[in-house]
Copies of this chain bind each other. A is one copy, B any other.
Amino acid sequence: MKKIAVFTSGGDAPGMNACVRAVVRTGIYHGLEVYGIMYGYDGMINGEIKKLQTHSVSNIVQRGGTILKSARSDDFRTREGRQKAYEQLQKHGIEGLVAIGGDGTFTGADLFAKEFGMKVIGCPGTIDNDIYGTDYTIGFDTALNTALEAIDKVRDTAAAHDRIFFIEVMGRDSGYIAVECGIGGGAELVMVPETKTTISDVVKSLKGLRKTKTSSIVIVAEGDEEGGAAEVMSKVKNEVNDDRMDFKVTTLGHIQRGGNPTAKDRILGSRCGLAAVEGLMEGKTNCMAGIIHDEVAYTDFQDCINKDKPLNKDYLRLVDILSI
């Protein structure tokens, strides 16, 4: 293998740049030529491919976003699109790919690799932490700390006004951010997609807490089965029907995706990037380079995509006990 390329795809996540940097420098360190593909699969199809040098990735380890930009590609879902992408890669003599992204990215990569015999290794880049085959995903720790700092700020206001705040954090299918924020932020309740909490449960808890606490924080993962924070608050308010209880809602939104990565995300991105390149050099393909129990682990794309990564149930128990 002499030439490899790297790209980022799907939602951006802090630490992607650290990962890109590691891919580029590890490749060059081992004597490879490394190319960067802009805008994920779209750029691959359109040939937005450029050679990267050591200094191309200077001073980016600490930046959020991705210098390679990202996009979701409809064209790559067609056989024709993938054919074009393959031709573009051939034009540059690229034999191996490092795909930084999440489930959707890996699904495309797996298909592409099988159709055209391209070698591909993935790196888990998504803030949601919902990928099997790695303890943490690149971006999760930063998103978690961003959300937590926001919760700390909201708590100042909640306490000053004796309010009950419903705070929505990211997590369409996964309660990782919600539950870790809940423990870290001292939340009174956490609502996640993985477990059923009814509106009556919430109302009962809040009424109980009111005897000892003047303000409360409820964290709602955006994908909770009762709805987002605004919907949950509205239902709770109706059922409580007590003017003395002052409910407010806030949705943290896109700030959770950006920002300078934490130490953990920079290191995780760096380790996965290095492992992806060395994996390609050893002939590995159709798998993701993740970190399990502080060691590099390669997991088949099919497992990453299909296997569940359950929430640590200890965490939900912690929220219950610590909010008394």
Contact = CB atoms under 8 A, between A and B. Distances in A.
B260 A250 contact: no
A258 interface: yes
A129 to B, nearest CB: 12
Contacts of A315: 267
Contacts of A184: 18, 61-62, 263, 266-267, 270
A318 interface: yes
Q: How many copies does the complex hold?
A: 4
A126 interface: no
A263 B293 contact: no
B145 A263 contact: yes
B160 A61 contact: no
A156 B186 contact: no
A194 to B, nearest CB: 16
Interface in A8-28: 8, 12, 14, 18, 21-22, 25-26, 28
Given A154-B254, A154-B258, A321-B26, A263 B12 contact: no
A219 to B, nearest CB: 13
A92 interface: no
A21 B183 CA distance: 11
A135 interface: yes
Contacts of A271: 314, 318
Given A251-B253, A253-B250, A161 B12 contact: yes
7 contacts: A26-B321, A62-B186, A135-B294, A148-B262, A183-B270, A274-B321, A294-B312
A284 interface: no
